[in-house]
Chain A
């Protein structure tokens, strides 16, 4: 059972890291603000989500697990808000092609 859970952790965290790397590459390579934002939000949402899911079985107690989930929720909320704001600002400055 322990081994299976560890395996899950490895798999999920690695998948999360993949999304982070892909998102970072996207920010560096994509041409304009909106597409970069797209890459960023993917990294935030999927990356953090998968890392949190992967770490859940490793927590000592339910409270720690709850804190992890709360962190995920906060990241989702702030990233959604910030990308909205950046998107609006970008649309005001550089009209979509």
Chain B
């Protein structure tokens, strides 16, 4: 058991936990939260890959570390867009649950 193994297993578990929440939780805000947990699990897996590749005097392979930084910024932007959509939905439509879509023929064109 090494540090990278521990965080690798943690990353795997967080992906599982986040994925479950994203699929199952009925509240959109909690789905967004689950997406962030899922994302951080994926980033930790990148971090483990980076740490295992420590060489040339660097504490880790800088390429996967850079992937994570890019990914985090994108994840924040995605969270911001999802939250803005959710708040607008609450303002316009009242209910925010993403219930099963009503039959498509009822929907406006």
User: Do A and B contact each other directly (Cβ–Cβ < 8 Å)?
Assistant: no
